[in-house]
Amino acid sequence: MRPFGGRLLFLLAGLAACSPDRPVNLQPTPANGDILRLIEEIGFRGPVAIVTATPIEDGHRRATKRSLMVPPAQRDAFGAALRAHPAAAARLTLALQQADEITDPNQIDSLNNTRRDSLQVLVAPSILNRPASAGGPVENLVQFSLEFLDIDPNGNIFFVPGGDIDSLLLMARIHSAGHYHGDSLLEDTLPRRVGRFDPRTGSFTTAFQTTWHVPEFSQEINHTIRLTERGGPNDGQTRFFFNVFPYASRVTGLHRIPPGGATYVRTGGTTEHPEDFNDWAVQPLIDAIVSFATAYNQARGDVVRVNDLSLFFGGRFDVGRASTVNGVTVLTPCHEGDLQSCWGNANGHQEHRLGTEADLNLTTNTLLNRAGFYRLLLSHFQSVYPEGNHWHVRDAASIYNPPR
C-alpha cells in the first residue's frame, strides 16, 4: 500500500483563515486555517482537497472528521514534504487524527503493501452494517463536503470559488477485505462492495455536497475526484485528486488471535489474506478458543486447528466467484439472495462478519478425539455446528445464536 497514494479517511471540516494579501474566495473557519498554514509550513505547493465527512450510522450522527486529498502525480511530493518537516507533519497529522482507531496496515496485510513508510495510517470510522440474516442490512451514510485549494500563478494558495465535479469514483483496494474466488480484479468497483456516491457529478459554489451510501461490507477505499475549476485565477483548469490517508469502514473491537503453539495452530490463510489478516475476533471469542485448545490438548494430547475467524476489517468474508462466459471473466458477487454461490450451507461464511464466529478442527482425527473435541466445544461456546470437515462455533455475543 502506498501511504500517500492510499485511500481516504473519514475526517473533519471547515476552511482556513488566510492573510489579506492572499486571494480569498470564501470565509474559512479557524480549524482549517491551521491545516492551510501547516500545508504551507511543510513546503507543499500543489492543489489540495479538504474533505469533511459526517458518518450517519443507524440514523445517528457521529463526529465530523477531516481529511486531505492531493493530485495523484503529487502524492510522492506530498509524502516527501511531510518527511522533510517532521515537526509540522506531526502537527498536521494530529489535526487530522480524529479517527476512532489508528492502524498501520503494513503490519497486517504485508503481501499487499509493497511500499512502506514510517508514518501511521488512519482508518476510520468504524461502521457496523448488519447482514440481512441478522435484521439488516442497514445502509449507513456518510455526508461529504468537499472544498478545494489551488495555487495561483504567483504561487499563492487560494480557495477555489466553484466548479464542476466531473466524476467521483469509489474503488476498493484489491483484497483489502473479502476472499475473492477467482483471479480477476473485477471486485474493486462493485457497488455492492464499495457503495455509491449520490450525486456523483454536479456544479458547486464554495463546496460540493454529496453522500456515500455505504454497503454492507467493510474494506479500504480509494476515492478519486475530477474537478474543473470555475472562477478564480485558474478558471477552466481540470484537477484530479486522490486520497492521502486510508479510508475504510470496519467493525470495531476486533483483535488478532495469537499465532498459537503447543495447543493450537492457525490454518487457512491465502495469498490474498494471510493468517494475520484472517484471524480477527472479539476478545471473548479469542479467550474461549485459547481456553478450549488448552483443555482439549490436556485431555487428548492433540492440537486444535483454528481456521476462519473474521477479516481484519470485518465484513463479508467472501466477495464473489468468477466464471468465464464466452471468453469473458464475469464476477458473481455474494449477496443475501444467492448464498449458495459463495457460502454454501446455512452456517457458512454468511457469518464470520463481526468477529463472533470461528471454524475449529482437530489435528488427529480419531473417534475418541472427535468425541472429546465435541464435548469440550459444547462447554466453551454458545453454539456449535458441524460444518464439513470442521465445527462452526459462536461466541455468546454472536447475533446469529438461536434464541434460548
Cα(196)–Cα(190) distance, integer angstroms: 9
pLDDT of residue 293: 98
pLDDT of residue 137: 59
Cα(305)–Cα(201) distance, integer angstroms: 50
Closest alpha carbon to 230 in 284, 280, 163: 163
* pLDDT tens string 247-263: 666 777 788 899 888 99
Residues in the chain where the model's pLDDT stays below 50: 1-28, 99-107, 109-127
Closest alpha carbon to 177 in 233, 246, 114, 83: 246
pLDDT of residue 172: 78
Q: Which residue has the cell 470564501?
A: 26
pLDDT of residue 333: 72
The answer to whether the peptide bond before residue 105 is cis (omega within 30 degrees of 0) is no
Cα(29)–Cα(61) distance, integer angstroms: 21
Amino acid at 378: L
Cα(15)–Cα(151) distance, integer angstroms: 16
The answer to whether the peptide bond before residue 137 is cis (omega within 30 degrees of 0) is yes
H/E segment holding residue 228 = strand 219-229
Instruction: Give the torsion sign (CA, 377, 399, 348, 318).
Output: negative
